[in-house]
Chains A and B, each alone.
Chain A
Amino acid sequence: MSKKSTPTEKAARMLDLVPYISTHQGISTAELAAEFAISIPELLSDLNALWMCGDSRFDLIDLEFESGFVSIRNAQTLNQVRNLSQQEIVSILLGLDLISKDLPADREDLQEDIRTLRKKLGKGSELLIDATPASKGGILASLREALAGKRKVKITYTSSLSETLSSRVVSPIDIYTNQERDFFVGFCELAESQRTFRIDRISSVEVLELKAAQLQSSAPEIEMAKAKISISRDVRRSRESLGQFLSGDGSEVEVSAYSREWLARTVLASGGAMKVVRPTELRSEIAHLAAKTLGLYR
């Protein structure tokens, strides 16, 4: 809807409109436009164009849509569902695979349906495609339900710093996606402040009967931990471990992270590949942590 379609895309849509309208005679223009994800004027332009097409000058497609409801007759030639393209098939196969790995254990019936459907659509190519969700789909669905219903949730969360599991009651504020990952923002009763949780680190969600605390999403005043880091080896792995917080090319990078502790641990986990050039305080903190850990081995 955002960008204007090319003549070829428009032609494809016109071809697909025919069988769709044939099985949905009398559908409103608004509903039809929504199904095809186009605006009503764009749909009317498609229908007008289609109305002028036909086998020959005396056998044109009979299309009625001035009433705001669309019906079609005399379109035998085009009245057939077109072959699915490979990208269309793959989009379904990948989606089905994600669903199947997300289904509750007691839905063997649906697993069976998905297997049949993947074979029916894939015709052998279904094995070439494999998808495992980054987070459990039920979790996102429950979080959305809680957000929409303004209810508190109880989540089990593995913190990224200590990798320990905690159970928290949270009033939902927002769900967003950044760098292709999902995040959940809420007021955490355990921390008594607003927290952001990576959804792939949430292992369970229970939507509670309790009404969520009335909260506005406010960007908390976070002082970012900034550092200049020099990478001596394993450059790709080091850069990837700094992820979205990194800027600069190659092995000399600037980092701006939410947590200084996270940054310090990331440098230590690099096993000597990363060196903090500045600030001095972070350098001495890292030296201290390394010495303290070495204490275990002496």
Chain B
Amino acid sequence: MSYRAVAVQQRVHTVSRKSERLVNLTIALLGTKRWLTKAQIFSSVDGYEGETDAKERMFERDKDDLRNLGIEIEVGSFDPLFEDEAGYRIRPDSYRTDIQEITPRELSLISLATSIWQGAVLNSSALSALIKLKSFGIESDLDAIPAIEPQIHVSDENLTFIIDAIAERRTISFTYLAQDLTRQERALEAYGAGTKGGYWYVAGRDLDKSEIRVFRLDRIDSKISFQGKSSSYEIPQGFAMSTHLESPAKSQMAVLKIRRGKVGRIAGLSKLIAEDDEWLTVEYPFHLQSELLSDLLWHLDDVELVQPESARAALISALEETAGEHV
């Protein structure tokens, strides 16, 4: 008993730092069955010192800090019929995760999923998520998982703002580099985010165009900023990011002559319709003429564009332009 009292004395003496005050405040508000008034908080939680004004300011900041950690402090009243003094508490079921259980295999998958972020922008979130789930106290079953090692290299801080915006349904704005490299101000209700082919994208309703648009993160030329409040829009039912990252349908068909043994990638995507000793004639599906021309020009005289006629004419004039500019 006396040992305990000494220990308590030592402990109380040093409680003054902010992190300890935040933890103590959490314990007090989480452990209480009743609402606690500010006065009760200031007298029972160590670390609130100084004049009432100073304590109140401290408390306001602490509430914000806890909210940023995902800990919601509920404000209520002792007697709803009267303008009573406000009371505070943290509801255990909002503090605690509602995940009931995790199987060993699931934990292994989560370990692998979080390890992907090493060195990338969400690394610390991935780490803290894993720690929380490991706290269920189950062993992972790593043997169940094959040796795969996907990697994520995104270091763009804007991704974290986008994730927050989607979670909070908060409108964002940013500067975007247009095709001609002009900088455009965009305002967006972000719905989803994702990666494909090494690039990151955000999709949502463009407030100027009033339609769903997709933006590439590396073309965003400013820090993303938030506009307005949380819950300012709804994400449409059934919105799926995957549909917006699908490659556009290749609805047009070109006829090409490919030099035998060359241009492997294009030949692999084509259908052979005729061949002789030197040339293969193939059908090659494409989406945009500009992409087709750029693809084919890369291969110089190893491929000839036969049809469509208009694309052939455009390719010839592009070559003439390049030849003319480099005389």
Contacts and interface: CB of A to CB of B under 8 A. Distances in A.
B112 A283 contact: no
A87 B70 CA distance: 11
Contacts of A193: none
A270 B14 CA distance: 68
Q: Kindly state the interface size class of chain A when it binds its partner.
A: 35 or more
A113 B105 contact: yes
Nearest to A160: B298
Interface string B290-319: 100111011111101000000010111111
Contact of A80 (B68, B96, B116, B326): B96
Contacts of B127: 36-37
Contacts of B80: none
B164 A87 contact: yes
B164 A86 contact: yes
Contact of A91 (B15, B117, B147): B117
B251 to A, nearest CB: 21
A129 B245 CA distance: 10
Contacts of B192: 127-130
A180 B298 contact: no
A219 interface: no
A121 B106 CA distance: 11
A12 interface: yes
A57 B6 CA distance: 12
B198 interface: yes
A128 B191 contact: yes
Interface stretch (B49-57, B81-89, B205-213, B258-266): B258-266
Nearest to B11: A52
Nearest to B70: A85
Centre residue among A103, A104, A132 by max chain B CB count within 10 A: A132
Contact of B19 (A14, A20, A128): A14
Contacts of B134: 20, 23, 35
Contact of A54 (B27, B312, B327): B27
B149 A8 contact: no
Contacts of B185: none
A291 to B, nearest CB: 6
B326 A128 contact: no
B262 A283 contact: no
Contacts of B321: 271-272
B22 interface: yes
Nearest to A296: B304
Contact of B179 (A11, A86, A234, A287): A234
Interface in A243-293: 250-251, 265-272, 275-276, 283-284, 286-287, 289-293
Given A23-B137, A89-B129, A141-B149, A10 B195 contact: no
A129 B149 CA distance: 20
Contacts of B8: 57-58, 60
Given A49-B23, A127-B240, A233-B180, A132 B197 contact: yes
B149 A137 contact: yes
B131 interface: yes
Contact of B92 (A15, A80, A89): A80
Counting from the closest, the 7 A-B pairs by CB-CB distance are: A95-B113, A23-B137, A272-B321, A86-B167, A88-B129, A134-B198, A130-B194
Interface of B: 8, 11-12, 14-15, 17-20, 22-24, 26-28, 30-31, 44, 65, 68-71, 92, 94-99, 105-106, 109-110, 112-117, 122, 125-129, 131-137, 144-155, 160, 163-164, 166-168, 177-181, 191-198, 219, 235, 238-242, 245, 261-266, 290, 293-295, 297-302, 304, 312, 314-323, 325-327
12 contacts: A16-B131, A20-B134, A60-B8, A77-B30, A80-B95, A81-B97, A95-B110, A180-B153, A200-B197, A267-B322, A271-B315, A294-B319
Interface of A: 7-8, 10-12, 14-16, 19-20, 22-24, 35-37, 49-58, 60, 77-78, 80-92, 94-96, 98-99, 102-104, 107, 110, 113-114, 116-117, 120-121, 125, 127-134, 137-138, 140-142, 144-145, 158, 162-165, 177, 180-182, 200, 233-237, 239, 250-251, 265-272, 275-276, 283-284, 286-287, 289-297
Given A8-B68, A132-B197, A162-B263, 5 more contacts: A85-B128, A85-B129, A130-B242, A200-B198, A271-B297
